[in-house]
Amino acid sequence: MKETSARPADRIERLVNAYADDLYRICLFRLQSAPDAEDAVQDTFLKLIEKRPVFRSEEHEKAWLIRVALNVCADRLRERTRHPQAELSETLAALPEDPALRDLAEALLALPEAYRTVLTLHYAEGYTTKEIARAIGKSASAVKMRLQKGRDLLKDALTKGE
């Protein structure tokens, strides 16, 4: 099933459209984490782009993608056992004793990753918006927007606790 007439980008788009949802469900079931499953699917398609295999049939194509996805999941599970991440309860136990700082830290930990990252880099680490933008691959204006939205979310979380 060689696709000589199709551009590589068209081929990848077709495969993503055809198999991404199936691969996501497989990875989600295996990893038990939506973000890890999304990353595993992306890694699977990156391997497809790198290896550029030639498939004999649609069944071969699907089987290859599923096998690669399962291998990516296995690698991630091995990584978890080698480098376990701290559980949230462990992180909370390491927070400051001062109730105000503890509330702030808990509210920060509850924010979505995108906002938590830019707030931490800016306020705790002292990076400028331009430095953060370079580090996370976003524009400076996107970082400013995330900082503003993150501050708003943090303020809302802290005022609800009063």
Which residue type, as a one-letter code, is found at position 44? T
Residues of the chain with pLDDT under 50: 1-5
Do 121 and 132 contact (CB within 8 A), yes or no? yes
Quote the pTM value: 0.50
| Structure confidence at residue 33 (pLDDT) | 83
| Structure confidence at residue 116 (pLDDT) | 83
If you classify domain 8-82 with CATH, what class do you get?
Answer: mainly alpha
| Structure confidence at residue 6 (pLDDT) | 63
Region(s) of the chain under CATH 1.10.10.10: 88-160
Q: How far apart are CA 157 and CA 57, in angstroms?
A: 53
Q: How far apart are CA 127 and CA 17, in angstroms?
A: 39
- CB contact set of 62 (below 8 Å; sequence gap of 6+): 19, 22
| Structure confidence at residue 5 (pLDDT) | 47
Region(s) of the chain under CATH 1.10.1740: 8-82
Do 111 and 146 contact (CB within 8 A), yes or no? no
Do 150 and 116 contact (CB within 8 A), yes or no? yes
Cα separations in angstroms, 23 against 29, 78, 102: 10, 19, 40
| Structure confidence at residue 81 (pLDDT) | 79
The helix (H) or strand (E) run that includes residue 46 is helix 34-51
CATH topology of domain 88-160: Arc Repressor Mutant, subunit A (1.10.10)
